[in-house]
């Protein structure tokens, strides 16, 4: 079984490949650096997640009915554009997303919630730089495998502190759920540290690093998918994740709007 679909149809920004019965791959190819725009998320990524879940659930129901659990396996890999080794995602299109007060509550946060509760294992195949919103996308996945950066520089970084962008509550919730050490939390959020892949592996942000190009990173991601896709057969993977990340999911749903530095300074002026 093999199928390929490009979304959105009129202006493809990602390609969904069902390469074998238990594996789906979403390849992001929005421009040079895979900015996570309204269109990519709403018209590409979210529909692709629905398609994958629908196809997997049909297989899993049939597997249970026929008492062939092996046929109910499933896993999803998310990777940057395959024909380059420079970007997984460079984050949001900040100039445009910041103009929309509903970008986080109606576009970005639903994507994070969807990934945190997804019913099959998810693997981020990080084949280049992974910044800001792209970093959050990777953290929302179950596993992260990245290029080791030996052939070409590749960094993970939450750089909002450097250009004055406040964090939405969803970012804080994801970081709290995925990173427990307060020193690492500070390093990521307040210092905006630019992690090399070996550093991120040592600090527990990554699960694996791989020498080579995108094909090699994908091969390792597929190895992880093959190892854990069987854990989806009984249908409880997503249910367990929902409980594990319940506090994060509730925080994301609360939709507290971020206060900008300008608003904060105006309040300080009136107070002082």
Q: What is the pLDDT of residues 58-74, one digit of tens each?
A: 999 999 999 999 999 99
Angle at 96 between CA 15 and CA 80, to 5 degrees: 25
Angle at 108 between CA 120 and CA 74, to 5 degrees: 10
Answer for the pair 133, 234: CB distance below 8 angstroms, yes or no.
Answer: no
Residue-range definition of the domain harbouring residue 10:
3-271
pLDDT at 256: 67
| Low-confidence spans in the chain with pLDDT less than 70 | 1, 255-258
Rounded distance between C-alpha atoms, residue 34 and residue 87, angstroms: 7
pLDDT at 258: 63
Q: For 14, left (φ over 0), alpha (ψ -120 to 50), or beta? A: beta
Rounded distance between C-alpha atoms, residue 194 and residue 131, angstroms: 9
pLDDT at 178: 95
Cβ partners under 8 Å of residue 71, min gap 6: 21, 59, 60, 62, 63
Q: Domain total for the chain? A: 1
Domain with residue 50: its CATH number is 3.90.226.10
């Amino acid at each position: 079984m093999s199928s390929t679909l490009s979304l959105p149809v009129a202006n493809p920004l990602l390609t969904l490949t069902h390469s074998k019965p238990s594996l789906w791959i979403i390849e992001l190819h929005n421009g040079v650096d895979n900015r996570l725009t309204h269109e990519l998320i709403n018209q590409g990524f979210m529909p692709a997640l629905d398609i994958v879940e629908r196809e997997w659930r049909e297989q899993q129901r049939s597997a249970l009915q026929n008492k062939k659990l092996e046929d109910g396996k499933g896993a999803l890999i998310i990777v940057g554009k395959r024909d380059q080794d420079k970007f997984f995602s460079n984050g949001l299109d900040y100039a445009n997303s910041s103009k929309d007060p509903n970008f986080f509550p109606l576009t970005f946060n639903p994507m994070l919630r969807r990934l945190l509760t997804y019913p099959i294992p998810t693997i981020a195949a990080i084949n280049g730089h992974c910044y800001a919103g792209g970093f959050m996308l990777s953290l929302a996945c179950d596993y992260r495998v990245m290029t080791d950066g030996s052939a070409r520089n590749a960094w993970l970084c939450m750089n909002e502190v450097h250009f004055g962008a406040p964090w939405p509550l969803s970012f804080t919730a994801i970081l709290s759920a995925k990173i427990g050490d307060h020193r690492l939390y500070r390093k990521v959020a307040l210092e905006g540290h630019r992690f090399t892949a070996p550093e991120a592996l040592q600090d527990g942000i990554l699960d694996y690093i791989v020498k080579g190009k995108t094909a090699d990173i994908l091969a390792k991601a597929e190895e992880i998918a093959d190892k854990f896709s069987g854990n989806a057969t009984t249908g409880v993977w997503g249910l367990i994740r929902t409980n594990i990340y319940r506090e994060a999911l509730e925080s994301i749903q609360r939709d507290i709007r971020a206060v900008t530095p300008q608003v904060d300074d105006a309040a300080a002026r009136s107070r002082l």
